[in-house]
Amino acid sequence: MKLTIKYFGLLAEVTKRNEEQLDFSGTLINELLDTIYLKYPKLKEIDFQVAQNNEIVSKETIITQTEIALLPPFAGG
Amino acid sequence: MTRYDRHIILSEIGQKGQDKLTQAKVLVVGAGGLGCPVLQYLTAAGIGTIGIVDFDIVEKSNLQRQVLFGTSSLGKNKAIAAKQRLLDLNDTISIHTYPEKLTHKNVLELFKDYDIIVDGTDNFATRYLINDASIITNKPLVYGAIYKFEGQVAVFNYQNGASYRCLFPTPPKEGAIPNCSEIGVLGVLPGIIGSMQANEVLKIILGLGNILSGKLLCYNALTTQTTTLIIHKVESEIKKVLSKKESFQNTVEELNCNFNPPEISIEDAFKKRNIQFIDVREKDEFPKVDSLNPTHIPLSELENNLHKIDLKKKKIIFCQSGIRSKKAVSVLQKHNINNSYSVKEGASEILEYIFAREKI
């Protein structure tokens, strides 16, 4: 499955892109993250949440949609 | 009454809506980048009672985005300086200032007197404190946060809706996500995000439109794109907070959060450039280390003297034995002042090192 991965905040800085296309053949969000971690090991050090088709989901969720967003918390004010 | 005329002639608001604004009580925590625009619009709109919590002092580097302040506010407490400006904008409302740090001890009492809470703070510890207290006191929380060119807006705890912990259950690791004072922020960004927060506050009070509850709006100032993500309420997270209700006020503020303050040897400290030496001993402690030209701030008075800390420099902190200096680094961390190091050696050893160094 071809997925579109969106990166927010610090994650976009680490990956040096706001979004990209990834080929993925697994099932769960967690498996997708393992693939992404291989590409960007630094992401492992950052806390973030995952949204599937603009809906925040747990990392044990089965991937059924093609748009995945990775969202870190922001502290600034 | 012509001040609110442009509100009143809107059929969706009218005199009835304006009266609701007059009766409303809104507490804004943090009078910084986000707090300034929020306060400005809430004051102009005629919110009858506004509270401002901020312990911090206005610094020159704030003026690039904290638009309530001018050069005449430098060195003043932000809550008090904001009030002065806001009363000029609208002297028909009541503004209460709380120039203090929000803690587990004072937060519940403070929130009790207000209808809506606005989070404009700049650190995770306070954001979680505000969220948990909003759940316990059952107040809607209008949240905003920024990072460089991106912002987030949401309304939490609105009519039993999702909370901040339903989105991010636990604070990130200490130092993992930097804040504006460390990495910079586009000045207009908090203006945009803060205005969106003010808009949500007005909608809640007026009962207009769709409240941004159960949703997180993400805004990117560079791409001018917004993404709205759906947040589901996680009952277990809210129950966890409510279960701590009784002991909440007795919770001690976490100083360390499993965080070891960075230590440095005096030898390595001298290798650093652009540094401020800080002596955190009491005034009558010897030996003095005058050749370092240190800033004297006893540990006991550190939190009240944060304005003496040079944010642009690396802070090299020492004391008599290296223990209080470690605590001082933690205190600064708690206030989001990073780039500080505790010198392992005590003052006598530092002095010996300086003498030995001069002989060479």
- The answer to whether position A34 is within a domain reads yes
B177/A72 touch (CB, cutoff 8 Å), yes or no: yes
In this structure, the answer to whether residues B129 and B221 fall within a common structural domain is: yes
Residue of B nearest to A45 (CA): B176
Domain shared by B190 and B271, yes or no: no
Q: What is the pLDDT of residue B174?
A: 61
Q: What CATH number does the domain containing B270 carry? A: 3.40.250.10
Residues B198 and B118 in one domain: yes
Is A76 among the domain residues?
Answer: no
Same domain, B242 and B323: no
Taking the Cβ of residue A54 and every Cβ of chain B, the question of whether any pair is shorter than 8 Å is answered with: yes
Instruction: Give the per-residue pLDDT at B202.
Output: 98
B291 and B215 in one domain? no
Residue B121 shares a structural domain with residue B94: yes
A31 domain-assigned: yes
Contact B229 A9 (CB under 8 A): no
Please, are residues B288 and B317 in contact by the beta-carbon 8 Å criterion?
A: no
The set of residues, in sequence order, having a beta carbon less than 8 Å from that of B105 and lying 6+ positions away, is: B249
Instruction: Please choose, from the candidates B304, B241, B245, the residue with its C-alpha nearest in 3D space to the C-alpha of residue B101.
Output: B304
A16 and B CB contact within 8 Å: no
Is residue A55 within 8 angstroms of chain B, CB to CB? yes
In a domain, B355, yes or no: yes
Q: What's the total number of domains in chain B?
A: 2
Nearest residue on chain B to A8, judged by CA atoms? B150
* CATH assignment at residue B85: 3.40.50.720
CATH of the domain at A39: 3.10.20.30
Rg (CA), chain B: 23
CA B335, CA B342: separation in Å to the nearest integer?
A: 16
CA dihedral B214, B18, B69, A9 (to 10 degrees): 10
Residue type, B89: L
Domain extent at residue B33: 5-250
Question: Is B316 found in the same domain as B227?
Answer: no
- Per CB-CB distance under 8 Å, the chain B contacts of A18 are 220, 223
Q: Give chain A positions within 8 Å (CB) of B197.
A: none
Structural domain harbouring A34: 2-71
Contact A77 B33 (CB under 8 A): yes
Question: What are the Cα distances from residue A76, in Å, to B133, B265, B288?
Answer: 20, 32, 38
Q: Mark yes or no for CB contact B33/A47 under 8 Å.
A: no
- B179 shares a domain with B142: yes
Quick check: is A46 in a domain?
A: yes
Name chain B contacts of A77, Cβ cutoff 8 Å.
30, 32-35, 119-122, 144-146, 179-180, 190
Does residue B258 lie within any of the structural domains? Answer: no
Residues B136 and B33 in one domain: yes
Q: How many domains does chain A divide into? A: 1
Indicate whether B257 belongs to any domain. Answer: no
Tell me the ipTM for this assembly: 0.95
Confidence label for A31 from pLDDT (cuts 50, 70 and 90): very high
Write down the pLDDT at residue B263.
Answer: 86
Residue of A45 and B54 predicted with greater confidence: B54
A72 and B CB contact within 8 Å:
yes
**Domain membership flag for residue A77:** no
- What's the mean pLDDT in A13-35? 96
Question: Do residue B168 and residue A49 have CB atoms under 8 angstroms apart?
Answer: yes
Last residue of a domain, one of B250, B273, B292: B250
Q: Are residues B208 and B102 in the same domain?
A: yes
Q: Are residues B267 and B295 in the same domain?
A: yes
Quick one: pLDDT at residue B322? 86
Interface touch A74/B145, C-beta < 8 Å: yes
pLDDT at B184: 87
What confidence score (pLDDT) does residue B143 get? 98
Which residue blocks in B71-112 are alpha helix, DSSP H? 78-89, 104-112
Domain boundary among the residues B220, B250, B280 is at B250
Q: For position A32, what pLDDT does the model report?
A: 97
- How far apart are alpha carbons B296 and B302 in whole angstroms? 10
Contact B178 A49 (CB under 8 A): no
Taking only the tens of pLDDT, chain B with its 360 residues reads: 699 999 999 999 999 999 999 999 999 999 999 999 999 999 999 999 999 999 999 999 999 999 999 999 999 999 999 999 999 999 999 999 999 999 999 999 999 999 999 999 999 999 999 999 999 999 999 999 999 999 999 999 999 999 999 999 999 876 666 665 667 899 999 999 999 999 999 999 999 999 999 999 999 999 999 999 999 999 999 999 999 999 999 887 765 443 567 888 998 899 888 999 999 998 888 899 999 999 999 988 898 899 999 988 999 999 988 888 988 998 898 888 888 999 989 999 999 999 888 876
Do B195 and B288 fall within a single domain? no
Q: What is the pLDDT of residue B301?
A: 87
Residue at which a domain ends, from B228, B250, B272? B250
Nearest CA-CA distance, residue B92 and chain A, Å: 28
